[in-house]
Structure formats: C-alpha cells, structure tokens
Structure 1
Amino acid sequence: MGRTVDGIGTTMSLESLQSDEQRLVLDTVAQVRKCGLESILALPQIVVCGDQSAGKSSVLEALTEIPFPRNDELCTRFATEIIMHRATVDSLTIRIIPDENRSGEERQSIDAFVASIIDFSELPEIMDRAMEVMGIRKAGVQPSAFARDVLSIEIEGPSRPQLTLVDLPGLIQNETKGVTKADVKLVQEITDRYISQSRTICLAVVSATNDYANQGILSKVRKVDPDGERTLGVITKPDRLPAGSGTESAYITLARNEDIFFKLGWHVVKNRSFEEGNDSFLERNASEATYFRTSNFKCLPKESVGIDALRERLSRLLFEHVKQELPQLHSDLSQALEDSKTQLATLGHRRATVEDCREYLTQLSLNFHRVCAAANEGHYEGPSFRYDTNEAFSTHSRASVRRLRAIVQKMNAHFSDILREDGHSYHIAKSGEPQAEVDLSIPVPSPATKPVHLSRIQAFSWVSNVVGRNRGKELPGNFNPLLVGELFWQQSVKWPILAEAHVEEVADVCRQFLTNLLEDMCPKDVISRLWSLHFEEALKQRNDAASNELGRIIYDHKEYPINYNHYYTDIVRQCQKEREQDRLATAIENATSHTLLPGCRSDHTSAKIDIHGALDGFNRGSEPDMEKASCEEALDQLHAIYKVSQKTFVANITTQVVERHIVRGLEDIFSPIFVGRLSDADAQEISSEPASCKRQRDFFQDRIEKLKSGHTILRRVMKTTVL
C-alpha cells in the first residue's frame, strides 16, 4: 500500500468534513460493525435504495469517490457495504459477507475471499472475481442475476471521512431477459430486509426522468417509515427535465418537501451525463455546481443541493442518529451478550470422554437438585426464580410454574374450593325457607354440572324414596342406619372424579416444572436422552404410586362413613336447634297481641305475650308425621357427615396423594447419587456431545467474543462522549 493518494485518494471535498467528536462516534459503530455484529444486532447505517436506473450507483460513486465499474451494472447485483474511515495510509480491502443461508462449504469459500488493491484501476477485475465467488458469473453456466451475499468495501485514507453506506440492488418492476420472476422477488426481499430495520436511515433515490408517483421505492419506505423520521429523499438527473416544464416544477415542489413529506427532507444531485462519463470527480463536481447556480433549481437552499452538501448532510445525520442510538444499542448488546452466555452455559463443558460425561452429569445434577429443592421448599432466591409481577400467577405461566410450592398450594386451595362449592350433587334448601309449588321429580345430577337445587319438599321426596328402598324391621319413625351412607354416596358422587382431575393437574405441573428446569440447564439432546432413559420411568413410578393411593382413598370413600369427630354431633344438634328456634319464634309471634295505649293519640301499642299459648303453639309445631320427621333427621345427619367427611377427603388427597407421591422428593429424581450409580456406558449415552453441539458451542463462543469486543468499544466511547 505504498502508493500516493493519486491511486485511491480523494478530492479536497472529502477533507475536513467532520469534527473529532463525529469521527469518534462514527468510528465506534464502524469498529462494532467490524466485530461482525451485523447478524446479531441492528446497527445504525445509511442504506441507498431506489428503483433500477434511478441513479443510485452514480450517487454512491460521487459520495465515496470510488469509481465503480459502470459496465453491466455490476454494483446492482448485490448489496454493497462501503465503510470509509480516516487512517494515516490509503488502503482498500474487499471482502464478501456470505448469506446466512449458505451451506458451511460455501461459507468457507466465500469467507476466504479477501482482496486488497493499491489503485482503482484494479477494481473491475477484483469485482469480477467477487461475483464469480458469489455464483453470479461462472464459465459455461447460466449465471444467477442477483445474490444475497454482501460485498464489503473498506477504504481508508488520511482525507477520508467516517461514513458507512450500503448500496442495494435497484428495484425491478417486471421480468426481463436474464432477470427472472425469482430475481425480482429476491431484490424486493433484500430491500425490505434492510429498510425495515429501525436503526437504518433510508436514502430513497428517485429519478427525475420518471414520474415519482410510479417509483416503487417511495411506497416501500413510507410503509416501513410512515412518519418519515428516518428517510431522506434524493432526486437525481434534474438536468434531464425541460426547463420551465410542469414536471420540473413538480420536482422542485417535491424537493421543497411540500408533496411527499420526510422529516429528514429532500436533496437534489446532478449525475454525470452520458457525455461526461469519463470526467474526473473534480470535473463532475464543478459541472454540478454550475448547474445549481444557473438552473431553476437555484431556488433551493444550498444545503439541499449538490454532492458535497449531501455528503456533509449525511455525515451529520448519521452522527446524530448514532449518538441517539448508542445508549439503546449498548443495552441491546449487553442483553445479547447475557443471552449468549446463558446459551453457552446451557451447553456445558465439552463432553468427549467418559470422565467428561460423568463430570458434566454430576455438576448438572447438583444444580438441578439445588434449584428443584428450593422450588419445592418455597425458597425463591436467585436468578432461577425471577418472576414478572405483571404476569398473572397461573399454571400457564412458565415463571409461575418455576415457583413450584406456591403453585401447588394454589392448586390445592382451588381443589378445596371446588369440592366445597360444587362437590355435592344437591344443594338442599334450609328448613323454614319459603316453599313454592314445585315438581316433586328429582333431577339426576351429572359430575360435569353444578349442584342441582332442591327445595325442602323435593329433598323430603328424595330421602323418602331412599328410606323406602332401605326399609327393614325398624319401627315407624325410624330408618335403617345404613340410609345415611347411601344418601352420602349419592351426595358425594363427584368427589372421585374431581380428585382424579386434581391429582393429574398437579402431576402435569410438576412434569412441566421439570421440563422447564432441564431446558434452562442443558441442551435439547441431553434432555431428550435423560428424559427417555430416566425421567419418564421415574415420573411413571411416582404417578402410579399416586394413582394406587388415590384408589385406596376412593375405595374407603365408598364404604359406610365412619366418624369419631364430635363436630358431627355438633352439626346435627345445631340443625335441630335452628328448627326449634324457628318454631319458637313463630309460636311467640302468634301468641303476641297488640293494644293501643289508653288516652294516647298516637298509634303506639302495648304488646302482650300469652305464655301458655306460645308453649302450646310451640308444642303443636313439632312434626306429627313420623315419616317426615325421620326424613328431617336423616337430612340433618347427611349434612353433618358430608361436612366432616369433606374436610377429611381434601386433607387425604392433598397430603397422602399429592404431597406424598407427586411433590415430595421431586428433587431426588436426578441427584448426584443417581449419577454415581450410572455405568460408564449409560453416562456416555446420556451426555455424550453430538457434532451439532460442538458447532453450537463454537458459534456461541465466537458470538460472545464479538459481543465482548463491541461491548468494550461502546462502553469506552460512552464514557468519553456527552450523549
């Protein structure tokens, strides 16, 4: 690179363009880009886009003063990234950034392409070679018209400004000879991908030789940037318009930002004419300056016309844009770095030998056992239990399920509520409630429905039918002692179904908890093998044990209820007491008389209670029908045994089934003890590392190195720059 600036130098128009602060900030993004972070983060950039033959390449050439080959429109076949920055020596290096969908072999071939030149005259030959590498030109083979790869041109020099531009292939409206429908679609996709990025400034180029309403790039940028906050319009070829014509007036109006409004405004440049094709950049700039001094476009502000003003405008615009985006870019980069570290940690250390595999499994089991035990005990400390407070706490939330003890407690409480509110077949009206004329037929309850409401009369009819079916040698007014058991079984017929559903739901949540925990700790291939070789069977054994325990409880439930809790007799007495109180209140009300006070003009009365009448009324109020009296007593006993048994049933399901067999000891499924008992063959079978895992580790290690470099660069510039 020992040639003078004559080889790849610049005109004086590129010198003294930026302040030290501008160079520092723009150089920061250039260095971050150089770290290879384009595929990881959206970096601030200026993208030159427009329809085919809009003059994009000429604008780019004038901005960068790089004489791109003009024949065959070579620069429009792929995206071209041009990175300019200041250095003590002139240099130009060309690389190709392969498309991410390329195969590994293709990527290696493309990555290997690096070329440096010392004179612009060498550029056409280098670009021909680059196109061959990208598959655009191959001898004896029909060439592809376009490529998704990116040609990267890095040019340095003492008079170069800090500026990065990306030139996109021109939008094609229709198929032509050598351009297929797939090519048209590909160019659309490339343009959309670049201009849709939130940190991209769109340099939308339109040609004055065509009605701007028909140029597709304007509709595209307005779609992705409806408020025009990051779009600068550029009008080319104004010298092709007839002076004083309506078309010229329309384009002057457009340049004034009075038709299609962009917050960044519009700019007008004059490209070389056909006759000026061989002019130097100095001659080109002088011709442009003369045009804007003498044409009707002289009415526009000086900062809105000409290539020098555009370059300065873009440099300032990119500087302000980058300066604004740096804090968020730093935050995004930090998050990407943390995510990559987490992904790499999940892969673990390399696992090539038996010792590697056993060491990996031991450490994995230690981590698993620690977090699982903490979740089971309700000790929610550390990053494993981060919880988004804005997210509803439910079994559908991954963060909620991680707090296993809390979610199981919530599910048990819900089970208790369901059994209390909907677990009974019949909701029986209390004694003394108003009785309407009702159909005495008893609806058949369904396990899937809410409790059926029965009036007191319907309840007596239901009990009377059961009494009749169970009649033995007992005297009139009494009932078979087994009657209460049959009523209880009918009233609690939903319990087994509700209990089975609850146990299954808790088992599913525990299974999801274990799955999520493993996903956070180890790669998918290890999870798959560990699950099929161990977890599946371990969970099946626990579920089978829970199912057997539940079966025993349900079997006991179907036996005649046994109770030694005095709460049962308290409830029966309370039911009888309430009915007696109702009878006494009615008798007292009926035995009370009211008389006006003598000599008093108000309606105040004196109340007098006939004690004997009240007692007589109370005694007459007792149920004379022995059959009805026995039904009343049976309902009291049913109510009492149901309440007592319901509490016992809930306690048995949650303690003896859910806690004993589903939740307790969940952390012991995968512990260091289990790993220690594995044979060498089993340890390798579970944790040996496939080739894809090795590639993933290399990928994340490379990404972390890039992110660390970018992080260091951004942190350094943010300390020295006032943002």
Structure 2
Amino acid sequence: MGSSSKQPGHTDVQDTSQDQSKNQPEPSVVKGMEITSSLEDFQTDEQRRVLDTVARVRKCGLESILSLPQLVVCGDQSAGKSSVLEALTEIPFPRNDNLCTRFATEIILRRANANTLAIKLIPDPKRPSHEQENIKAFEKSITNFDELPNIMNAAMAVMEIGGNSQFGSKPRAFARDVLSIEIEGPSRPQLTLVDIPGLIQTDTKGVTKADVDLVGEITDQYIKQPRTICLAVVSGANDYANQKILTKVREVDSEGDRTLGIITKPDRLDSGSGTETAFIELAQNQDIHFKLGWHVLKNRKFDERDFSLMERNAAEETYFRTSNFKCLPTDCVGIDALRVRLSKLLFEHVRQELPKLRSDLEEALATAEKQLGIMGTRRSSSSECKAYLTQLSLDYYEVCKAAVGGHYEGDYFSSNEGLFSLSSMATIRRLRAVIQHMNTSFSDNIRINGHKYQIEDSSESADDKVLPESAEDEMSPEFADDDDASPRTTQTQGLGLIPSTSSPIGLDTSKAREWVRLVLIRTRGKELIGNFNPLLVGELFWEQCSNWPRLAVEYLDQINDVCSRFLGILLHDKCPKDIVSRLQVSLVQDVLKARYNGALQELGRLIEDTRSYPINYNHYYTDTLYKRRQERNKASLASCIEDATTHKPVPGYASHHHISSASVDVNKATDAYSKSIDPNMEKVSCEEALDCLFAIYKVSQKTFVANVTTQVVERHMIRGLEKIFSPVVVNGLTDSEVEAIASEPASAKRQRQFLEDRIAKLKDGQSIFRSVMGSATM
C-alpha cells in the first residue's frame, strides 16, 4: 500500500474486483467471502483457543486500556504492505483508491457460524467530543466484498480525508482515526492485524511536512507498544538501507525480540546483481539481525493483476523454486509459510503474555473500581445526595474518632513510613500521636523559654539544673522539675513543632538581686525594713512569665493547623475532589474557626488568671521555698566550718604521704556563721523574694501547661472533632444545602460514565480469562 505517488507497475494500485468474479462462491457461501484451504488450515485448535482469548478481550474494547498482543504491518510508502495483507487475510482491499494508506486499519478475523463483515470507526481521542460521537456512529455490516469500496469511501468522508469537511475544518490527507474491519466465518482463523500508513520520505505535492510527521507519529504509536509484533515490510525495489522503517523498529526494539522482517518485490531485483545478493543476505539475517528472522514474499506484478489468490500463490511458489532466492529455507519464503510462521509466532507470543496481560487487567480493574468508589454513589436528586452524605459522614466519623482516640486500626492508618514528621500525611493521620508530641513540645518550650530571665544561682542543686537541647541555648531555668535527673530534649527539629523563638535573658546573682531591688523599691508599702510588700512576688512573677501568652498562642496556631491538615487529608482520602472543597467551605472551615476562637477565649482567661496575684495551695511551693533556703544555709555553714578547720601532720608518717589529722574550732565556726548573716535588710528581702519567685514559678508553670493542654487544646480543639461532619449534622441540613454540597458537576458525571464503561469492559475481560484459563490459575 502507498500514496498516489506509486509507480505504475506497483501491484497496490490495481483493481482486484475481477478476482471476485473469477472465484464464484459456493451456494452455501456468501459472495466474496470464500477462502482457500491454506487459510482454513492456518491454525490448530489450541492456537485458535489461545488467540481467541485475546480476540475476545479486544472485542470488549480494552485495546484503549491495555497493551494487547497484535501484529502490526508497517513499512515505507509503496513497500507493498497491502499485497502482504491481502495475501495473508485473503481480503480484496480496494487498493486503486489508496484508502489504506491514509489511516490505520485494524483487520480482525474470527471463527463464527456465519460469514459476516462489520466495519466501524474508532475516533482519535484528541478530536472534539462532537466529532468523536459522529465518527463512533459510523457502523456498517455487509455480506459481499463488492460493497467494501463504497463503504470505505463513506468512512473516509466521515474522517474528513479528502473532499469537503462536514465539520467546517480543512480536509486532511491522513487521520489518526482507526478503521476496524471485523470478518467472521466458519473457516476463518483467529487473527488480528493492524495496517498503518506507509512512512513518507519527504513532503511533496499534496503531502505536507505535517502529514509526514503525522504518519511517523502513527507508526511510533503502534510499534512502541511492548506487546506488538512488528511486521517490518521492506521493498526490493529500493535500497533497504534508505527505508525508514528499519530505523524506527530498531529504535523501539533494539534487540529484535518482536520484529519480523518481510521482503517484498524480490522479482524487481536484477538476477545475479549485487543488490539481489545483498537482499538475499538480508533475508538470511546476516546484515540486519532480528531474532524473529526474515521472510520473503512475491507480490503480483502488473500483468498478474487479474490472478486469483490461488493463481497468485502458484506464481509465487514457481518464483521461489526457480530464482536465486531458492537458496533460502522453504519456511522463510512464500505466503503459506508466512501464515504458519506467524501462527506459531503469535501463538507463543500470546501464550507468554497472557499471565502478565491478565495481571495488568486485574490491576487496571482495581484502580478503576477504587476511583469509582471514591466518587461514591450517584448524586442527582436531593435524596441521593443526602444518602451519599450520610454514608460519607459515617465513614468520616468513625475514622476521625479513631484518630482522636489513638486507636490506629484498619487500612487507613497503615503505612510503611518510619519517619515521624509533620510533612508526612501518614503521621498527620495519627492525630492523637501528633497532639501528644506537640503537648510535650509545648511543655518543654515553656520550661526552656517561658521565663524572661535565666538567673544563675550557686545555691541551686544539681537536680535543678537542666540543659537545653542546643548548645547555642542559654542554661535552662533552674526551676525545672526536681526529678529531671537527665537532660530533656524537645525533639522539635524537622518536625515543625513549637520553635524556640527567643532565649531567656541571662542574669547572674548580683544582677538578679538588682532587678528585684528595683521592683522592691517601687512596690514599697508600710512594711518594716527587712520585709517586703507581698505584691512584690506578684510583680516579679508577672514579668518572669511574660513569654507565656506568646508561646501559648503560637502553640494554638500550630494545633489549629494540624487539625485543619488532618481533616483536609481525611476528606481528601474519603471524598471526591469536588465534595472536599464544598465541605471545607460550608462546614469544616467555619467550625474550625469557631473552635479556634473558643480556644483563644479560654486561653485568654488563663492568661488573665496569671496576671492576678498568684494563689497557691500546693505544698510543693513551701517545699521548694524551704529547700532553697536550706541549701543556701548549708552552703554558708559549710564555708564557715571549712575556715575553722585546721590540718596537722600525723607523727610517724613521711610528709610525702599527705596524712594529717583535722580539727574543727567549733567556736570559731559558730562565730563566723553568726557573722555571715547579712545586716543589709534590703539584700535579705531581695533573697527572700527571689526564693518565693522561684517556688511560685515552678508551681504555676506546671499548672499553666496542664491547663492549656487540657482546658484549651483538648476541650476546645480536639475533643469532638469527629462531630464536625457527622450523620447528625447531615440530618440537619436542608435539601438545598445537601444538593449544594453533594450534587455531581457535569465533569464528575462524565468521569463516572467513563469509569463505569471502563469497569464494564475490564470485567468482561476478567470473565473471559476466568473461563479460558480456569480457576486453577486464579
């Protein structure tokens, strides 16, 4: 086959209408549908059964979904592809009009009780929808090959090839649409071949550069499919090194695993010439090597245009018996040998690909069913919408409640991700774990960065010293938990949790006393010297905890963000995309905002409580106060005893042994200790006030963290999160509200139809595999 530029002697441009007149059918056979015995004996029963499996799967319309095993006849323009097709299928194509060169033609042969020939068009998916519908509507059924030319002319008109365009666009020379010819008969083999337009070397009159590129794209589209066997047709009338098809098939099949080379027109070669020798060597697989090898066919010459198929086969047999090509094995020349060869080749290829094809089908079916499952049931009327939302809200309620409660059972919470990170959706799905981690982070952040001043005090015990996470931080507050015997870390890096926005201001003991003295001066009342106004501790506490509001608000913002992201992920996992946006706008966003505002108001009350004078009934306050004073007194007494201690060498021991006896002058120690009492009453007041501040801060810090995490976060932001979108909420929506949320847009309806059609086709294919391959291979 080729274009209008074919040479006069090329067999593809000949009218074979006389072939039908020569071969009158038997009375029981429909006119023009008779075949030769060689075609009837083309396949064994086992081969037909296996190939029939793919044929039936293809008939389900799965070629657009799965890569199906097929034979594709490809080659350059005027390579003789149509003659190869006619000889293989014994279908007299109307070659004089060059119809097969303008679009891909799918030829499907099937065994059936009656002779029928059905023609339909498969539109290019890139066409506008109205053009696709018009092309899909083209279906014809004939019982006489004499009607084939008129049918194909009508198909070309629908595809707008040549002539006037019915859609108002410019007529085209080639089309991406596919002409499907399905032929059934009691003696037909199971065989599917695809004929594609011949590759064009360059643009000429009537063929544009765009046409050349389009034909190349069509060829690539077919031959690059991994389950396609390429029948690469090479003409003996041209140097095979210049025929583009060989370059293309080697690009997609570099090892030659699925390419069979076919040499046509060997009789056009001068006998004994170097060119003929080169083609013989090519046929012997010595030059361009294909694992499937090469095959040689002889086309009908111009003076043989009236030959019947049997006469054509006889002439071919004579040629290969008498020409220089007789050196080739008999199974590599002639149409009958090619049929046998292709039958075995296709049978083995299909048998090898069937398990993988079935696996691909099952995977595609599972994917389509999952996508349709996400879309849910149809949502046209208000009752359908309400039923859909009720079921959706129930799924949401159960999963959300499990996430809030920390019950991570079921597929929704299963994940192979080991990294705990807020950038991971798998982490966010486990909401309770995230909240617990953020609560701990908030507690650590308040402990390390909540106080304004970091006061160093030589009297604090080792248990009260807590190191921050980073070496860049200041020393952590000495009023950390007494039971913190080892450093604690916030583990916030990389998790997006509470940041250390600022570190406390470091003060040594003298600067701390100066800070307290200045506050003491401005809070002086009628108290005696050596005492301080009780309000002093309150003012010190208010300044020391001035970072709490900022850190708490930052914490609430992050909790709110996590809750929003959790609900977004949950809705995305459970709802169609169009439903997600509507639910978020109509329900989720407003409720989350209200819950956040309620949390801010509750936090405001807690902050207001901290701005009142501290009230405490926890013995931990007095214990801490007593312990600090005792530590300071112990340190002073130890210093006095050390000063009153003398060391004398023990007689009898050498001086280098450093053995001595110690004696303590008790009077001197007690005198020194009594004199260590600072007479500066203001300084004593400052020390006492600092002790009270440390004690009350420790107690209040623990209370504040507990209140924020329970009364603010848990009460207002986490508890009841599942009730935002529950069946109770859906039941309270009006019909108009339900339709506004759940009704399907036109795009969703089209997507639903597409998925339902795809699932139906895949299930048909699944049934075919089950019936053919049996339950033992399930």
Contact 2:121–2:178 (CA<8 Å) still a contact in 1? yes
Structure-2 separation of matches of 1:577 and 1:298: 117
SS of residue matched to 1:337: helix
The size of the alignment, in residue pairs, is 704
Q: What amino acid maps onto 1:711 in structure 2?
A: Q
Structure 2: runs of 5+ lacking an equivalent: 1-24, 463-473, 476-497
Q: Equivalences for 1:12-23 in 2 at 5 Å?
A: 12-23=37-48
Separation of aligned partners in 2, 1:537 and 1:288: 83
Equivalent of 1:164 in 164, 187, 192: 192
Match of 2:762 among 690, 698, 707: 707
Superposed counterparts of 1:23-62, under 5 Å: 23-62=48-87
Picking from 720, 727, 744, the partner of 1:665 is 720
Equivalent runs, 1:486-505 vs 2, <5 Å: 488-489=544-545, 495-496=551-552, 498-505=554-561
Does structure 1 residue 154 correspond to structure 2 residue 217? no
How far off is 1:510 after superposition?
Answer: 3.2
Pairwise mapping of residues 362-381 of structure 1 onto structure 2 (< 5 A)?
362-381=390-409
- Alignment correspondent of 2:414: 387
State the AA in 2 paired with 1:610: A
Q: Which string of whole-angstrom CA distances, capped at 9 and with x for unpartnered residues, describes residues 100-135 of structure 1?
A: 344444333323322223333322221111111222
SS in 2 for 1:470: helix
Give the counterpart of 2:589 among 515, 529, 536. Answer: 536
Q: Which moved more, 1:129-138 or 1:105-114?
A: 105-114
How far apart, in 2, do the equivalents of 1:238 and 1:653 lie? 91
**Residue of structure 2 in register with 1:280 after alignment:** 308
Q: Which residue number in structure 2 is paired with residue 610 of structure 1?
A: 662
CA distance in 2 between counterparts of 1:398 and 1:266 reads 55
Question: Are the structure 2 counterparts of residues 423 and 237 from structure 1 closer, same or farther at C-alpha, using a change threshold of 3 Å?
Answer: farther
Aligned to 1:439: none
Asked if 2 retains the 8 angstrom alpha-carbon contact of 1:222 and 1:228, the reply is yes
Q: 1:674 aligns with which of 729, 737, 744?
A: 729
Measured in 1, the distance between the counterparts of 2:377 and 2:159 equals: 37
Report what 2:341 is aligned to.
313
Q: Is the 8 A contact 1:232 1:265 kept in 2?
A: yes
Conserved in 2, the CA contact under 8 Å of 1:54 and 1:207?
yes
Which amino acid is 1:535 matched to? V
Q: Is the alpha carbon distance of 1:676 and 1:501 closer, same or farther for their aligned partners in structure 2, counting shifts above 3 Å? A: closer
Aligned pairs for 1:439-450 (under 5 A) are: none
Q: Does 1:549 align with 2:610?
A: no
Describe the shift of the 1:359–1:390 C-alpha distance in structure 2 as closer, same or farther (beyond 3 A): closer
Q: Does the C-alpha gap of structure 1 residues 643 and 510 become closer, same or farther in structure 2, counting only changes over 3 Å?
A: farther
Contact 1:354-1:680 at 8 Å conserved across structures = yes
- Contact 2:105–2:181 (Cα < 8 Å) also in 1: yes
The 5 A counterparts of 1:95-106 are 95-106=120-131
Query: Which deviations, in whole Å up to 9, do the C-alpha atoms of 1:17-73 show, x marking residues without a partner?
Result: 333232112111111111122223332223333333343333333322222222343
How far, CA to CA, are the matches of 2:327 and 2:648 in structure 1?
107
The alignment partner of 2:204 has SS state of coil
For 1:485, the aligned partner's letter is F
The 1:320/1:96 distance shift into structure 2, 3 A limit, reads same
Give the aligned CA root-mean-square deviation in angstroms: 4.7
Residue 565 of structure 2, aligned match among 509, 514, 517:
509
Shift of 1:232: 3.6
Task: Please give the residue correspondences for 1:62-77 in structure 2 after superposition, counting only pairs within 5 Å.
Answer: 62-77=87-102
For the Cα contact (< 8 Å) 2:517–2:686, is it kept in 1? no
What's 1:438 paired with?
Answer: none
Aligned to 2:13: none
Which residue of the partner structure matches residue 655 of structure 1?
710
The farther-off stretch of 466-475 and 635-644 is: 635-644
Checking the alignment, whether the CA contact within 8 Å between 1:460 and 1:628 is kept in structure 2 is: no
Deviates more, 1:648-657 or 1:154-163: 648-657
Shift of 1:238: 4.4
User: CA contact under 8 A between 2:163 and 2:171: conserved in structure 1?
Assistant: yes
The answer to whether the 8 Å contact 1:596/1:604 transfers is no
Who is 1:466 aligned against?
Answer: 515
Distance in 1, matches of 2:336 and 2:628, equals: 98
Write the letter of the residue equivalent to 1:671: S
Match of 2:772 in 1: 717
Distance 1:82 1:610 in 2: 115
Letter paired with 1:713:
I
- Correspondent of 2:173 among 142, 145, 150: 145
> Within 2, Cα distance between the matches of 1:287 and 1:390?
70
Separation (CA, whole Å) in 2 of partners of 1:634 and 1:718: 89
Distance verdict in 2 for CA 1:105–1:578, change over 3 Å: same
Structure 1 gaps of 5+ residues are 434-441
Residues 682 and 501 (structure 1 numbering): CA distance in 2 closer, same or farther, change over 3 Å?
A: closer
Name the residue aligned to 1:436: none
User: For 1:405-461, what per-residue CA distance to the aligned partner results, in whole angstroms no more than 9, with x for missing partners?
Assistant: 44444544555566566767788888599xxxxxxxx99xxx976765988xx6457
Q: What amino acid is the match of 1:678? A: L
Is contact 1:597-1:604 (8 Å) kept? no
Q: Map of 1:237-316 to 2, 5 A cutoff?
A: 237-242=265-270, 251=279, 254-257=282-285, 260-293=288-321, 297-298=325-326, 300-316=328-344
For each residue in 1:550-592, what CA deviation from the matched residue of structure 2 results, as whole angstroms up to 9, or x when unmatched?
A: 4444555566666555556666777788897899799989989
Q: Deviations over 1:202-260 (max 9, x none)?
A: 33444455555554444444444444444444444444455566655555555555555
Change (3 A) 1:716 1:486: same
Q: Partners of 1:56 and 1:695 in 2: how far apart?
A: 40
Q: 2:106 aligns with which of 74, 81, 88?
A: 81
C-alpha contact 1:84 1:161 (8 A) present in aligned 2: yes
1:713, CA displacement in angstroms?
A: 0.6
Bigger radius of gyration, 1 or 2? 2
Match of 1:94 in 2: 119
The answer to whether the 8 Å contact 2:541/2:697 transfers is no
Q: Is this contact kept in 2: 1:357–1:687, CA < 8 A? A: yes
For residue 163 of structure 1, what is the amino acid of its counterpart?
L
Q: SS where residue 62 of structure 2 aligns?
A: coil
State the SS of the aligned residue for 2:188. Answer: coil
Q: Give me the whole-angstrom Cα distance separating, in 2, the residues matched to 1:95 and 1:598.
A: 123
Closer/same/farther in 2, CA of residues 646 and 502 from structure 1, 3 Å limit: farther
1:485 aligns with 2:513: no
Contact 2:237 2:268 in 1 (8 A): yes
Name 2:220's counterpart in structure 1.
Answer: 192
Q: Is the 8 A contact 1:398 1:516 kept in 2?
A: no
User: Paired residue for 1:324, among 328, 345, 352?
Assistant: 352
Contact 2:122 2:179 in 1 (8 A): yes
- 1:321 partner letter: H
Amino acid across the alignment from 2:588: F
The answer to whether the Cα contact below 8 Å between 2:591 and 2:724 also exists between their aligned partners in 1 is yes
What is the DSSP-based 3-state SS (H/G/I as helix, E as strand, rest coil) of the residue aligned with 2:763? helix
The Cα offsets for residues 625-650 of structure 1, whole Å up to 9 and x where unpaired, read as 98999999888877766665555444
Q: How far did residue 379 of structure 1 move?
A: 3.9
| Cα-to-partner distance string for 1:182-212 (whole Å, 9 max, x where unaligned) | 4334334333333333333333444455555
Judging changes above 3 Å, is the alpha-carbon distance between structure 1 residues 592 and 310 closer, same or farther for their aligned structure 2 residues? farther
Number of the residue aligned with 2:491: none
Q: Distance in 2 between matches of 1:475 and 1:261?
A: 110
